[in-house]
Amino acid sequence: MRVCPSCGQENDETALRCTQCNKRLTPLVFPLADRALATAAAVLLFLLGVGLDLAIAFAFAAITPVNTCFSFLGMLILGILFAIPKKTRLFGYGVLAGALAFPIWVQIGCVPVLYFR
């Protein structure tokens, strides 16, 4: 039951307005759920940065297995640029983590191309 702060009337949990005085009830707050959603969103944003970076690295290595140094440097610069602002910091960390795994993905992407040409 939700109690109206103005008149003290008990209302249903789903009520948006008080049944007696018709004033708006205060919204329910779930701090633990909000914190869990924020943590999950942060992890997904980090993984999006890693996945995007690795997908680009694998595709780039499969298409042109030569001269991947420029792509690696570009991903490092892109990761640093995304890591500077606070709003995109986790995505930038993901891009940087993917950039550090870039040489491994280049090798994995190059091996099938070299065997099947």
The string of pLDDT tens digits covering residues 25-73 is 877 767 777 788 888 888 888 888 888 877 776 676 667 655 667 777 8
17 torsion bin: left (phi>0), alpha (psi -120 to 50), beta (else)? beta
Please state the pTM of the whole predicted model. Answer: 0.55
Q: How far apart are CA 52 and CA 94, in angstroms?
A: 9
**Domain that includes residue 67, residue range:** 2-115
Predicted local confidence at residue 116, as pLDDT: 60
**Out of 34-48, 67-81, 82-96, which region has the weakest mean confidence (pLDDT)?**
67-81
Element (H, E) at 70: helix 69-83
Maximum alpha-carbon separation in the chain = 80
Predicted local confidence at residue 65, as pLDDT: 58
Number of domains in the chain: 1
Q: How far apart are CA 105 and CA 95, in angstroms?
A: 14
Element (H, E) at 41: helix 31-63
Predicted local confidence at residue 11, as pLDDT: 83
2 torsion bin: left (phi>0), alpha (psi -120 to 50), beta (else)? beta
**Given a cut of 60, is residue 95 above it in pLDDT?**
yes
CA angle 57, 84, 58 (to 5 degrees): 5
**Out of 7-11, 88-92, 98-102, which region has the weakest mean confidence (pLDDT)?**
98-102
